[in-house]
């Protein structure tokens, strides 16, 4: 689990605390926010009652600090600010990389992977689960074969949740990331729509601008 202050100790140095992580400001990371909104649709559909995931920022610290990093690190976190795994804005600024990936599909791949890591590790449960085989799924590009591996160059499709299938290895794409609600039984889909309507009604009622 992450969300901590790192202290470096060295000869002639006292403890130096890193800046405290903080929630990302709305609009600060638009591509990451858009991708997380898609992933949160799957979270809402499959884990009723779970609060949406958020983006947490570990601010950059002074270059002179032991173990310092020179740019903000963005993580996918639970609503209480805890996260697990790697940042989702990994880039090399010295090579003129953008602060967040340019390609929307790439961003969604990275954010879905980070979201799964945070949910699985901090809830101590498998997520998401294939509705047919009742086993955990993994994020992959659409249309990959069973022997696909991370880093393969021949798979540029949109991200899907992929299930390895039964013991015969009949792997299959279950749904595009963000569309797990469509795989639910009819009764669950209807219940989910009711929850969404009620949430939207409350949001509208609480917004002065909506009168």
Average pLDDT over residues 19-39: 94
Q: Is the pLDDT of residue 148 over 60?
A: yes
Tokens 């202050």 sit at which residue? 5
Residue 97 φ/ψ, nearest 5 degrees: -65, 150
pLDDT number for residue 69: 54
**Looking at the predicted structure, is the pLDDT value of residue 209 above 50?**
no
pLDDT for res 24: 95
Q: What's residue 89's pLDDT?
A: 86
Counting every residue, how long is the chain? 211
Tell me the pLDDT tens digit for each residue of 149-171: 676 655 567 999 999 888 776 78
Q: How far apart are CA 211 and CA 207, in angstroms?
A: 7
Q: CA–CA separation, 5 vs 3, rounded Å? A: 7
Burial pattern 177-204, b for ≥16 Cβ within 10 A else e, equals bbebbebbeeeeeeebeeeeeeeeeeee
The share of the chain scoring above pLDDT 70, in percent, equals: 66
**Is 171 strand, coil or helix?**
coil
Q: In this model, does residue 119 exceed pLDDT 80?
A: yes
Partner residues linked to 162 by β-bridges: 138, 173
Q: What is the DSSP letter of 49?
A: T
What's the CA gap between 6 and 65, in Å, rounded? Answer: 10
pLDDT at position 101 over 90: no
Neighbours of 121 (CB within 10 A): 15
For the residues 182-197, what does the mean pLDDT come to?
A: 73
- Whether pLDDT at 130 is above 60: yes
C-alpha–C-alpha distance, residues 123 and 2, integer Å: 14
The reported pLDDT for the residue numbered 2 is 61
Angle at 3 between CA 17 and CA 137, to 5 degrees: 155
Cα 28 to Cα 53: distance, rounded to the nearest angstrom:
16
For 95, other C-beta atoms within 10 Å of its C-beta total: 6
Q: Which residues make Cβ contacts (< 8 Å) with residue 147, sequence separation at least 6?
A: none
Q: What is the distance between the alpha carbons of residues 35 and 83, in angstroms, rounded to a whole number?
A: 17
Mean pLDDT estimate for the chain: 79
């Amino acid at each position: 689990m992450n969300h901590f202050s790192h202290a470096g100790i060295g000869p002639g140095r006292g403890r130096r605390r890193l800046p405290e992580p903080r929630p990302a400001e709305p609009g600060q990371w638009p591509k990451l926010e858009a991708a997380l909104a898609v992933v949160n649709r799957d979270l809402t559909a499959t884990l009723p009652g779970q609060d949406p995931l958020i983006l947490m920022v570990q601010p950059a610290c002074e270059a002179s600090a032991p173990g310092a990093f020179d740019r903000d690190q963005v993580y996918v976190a639970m609503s209480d600010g805890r996260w697990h795994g790697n940042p989702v804005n990994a880039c090399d600024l010295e090579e003129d990389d953008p602060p967040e990936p340019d390609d929307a599909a790439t961003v969604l791949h990275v954010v879905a992977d980070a979201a799964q890591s945070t949910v699985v590790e901090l809830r101590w449960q498998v997520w998401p689960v294939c509705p047919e085989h009742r086993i955990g799924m993994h994020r992959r590009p659409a249309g990959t074969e069973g022997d696909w591996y991370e880093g393969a160059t021949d798979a540029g499709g949109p991200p899907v949740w992929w299930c390895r299938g039964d013991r015969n290895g009949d792997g299959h794409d279950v749904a595009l990331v963000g569309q797990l609600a469509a795989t639910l039984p009819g009764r669950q889909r209807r219940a989910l729509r009711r929850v969404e309507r009620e949430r939207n009604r409350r949001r509208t009622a609480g917004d002065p601008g909506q009168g």
